Amino acid sequence: MKNILRTLLLTGAALATNSVFATDLVCDVYPKGGAGNSTNGTSHCFAIDFSFGNSTSGKFYLENISKPINQVIWQGDASCSGGTSCSITVRAYSRESASALILYKDGTYETTNTAYMEYETGH
């Protein structure tokens, strides 16, 4: 019984430690005309303006990086070739999403959360 409890406690501690030090994928959406946006820097970014345009720019990027990165493999709508950030075009009234597979220099890897961007205009 002691061994079972000890194993459960160690497993729980390992899982908690892993989530505390996890790298976060967040985003920014840049509306035209400098309109306000309070959701930048989160995993679900939203922007609105009245430019009547079809698209604006946005960026997915990694935060809380805890150890040296060897390579980043972007997935989803972020089709960049590496680096810790990925700039994209955000189409009006669509949802862009991305995640990243991070390969660390110590041989470990991590898959990030999925982040989402949305943009609306005056159309």
Q: Is the pLDDT of residue 16 over 50?
A: no
Tell me what the mean pLDDT of segment 61-88 comes to. Answer: 94
Tell me what the mean pLDDT of segment 73-82 comes to. Answer: 91
Q: How many domains does the chain have?
A: 1
Tell me what the mean pLDDT of segment 75-101 comes to. Answer: 93
Collect all residues with Cβ–Cβ distance below 8 Å to 78 and sequence separation of at least 6. Answer: 60, 86, 88, 96, 98, 100
Q: Which domain holds residue 65?
A: 2-120
Please, are residues 104 and 69 in contact by the beta-carbon 8 Å criterion?
yes
Q: Is the pLDDT of residue 13 over 90?
A: no
pLDDT score recorded for residue 79: 85
Domain of 75, CATH number, reads: 2.60.40.10
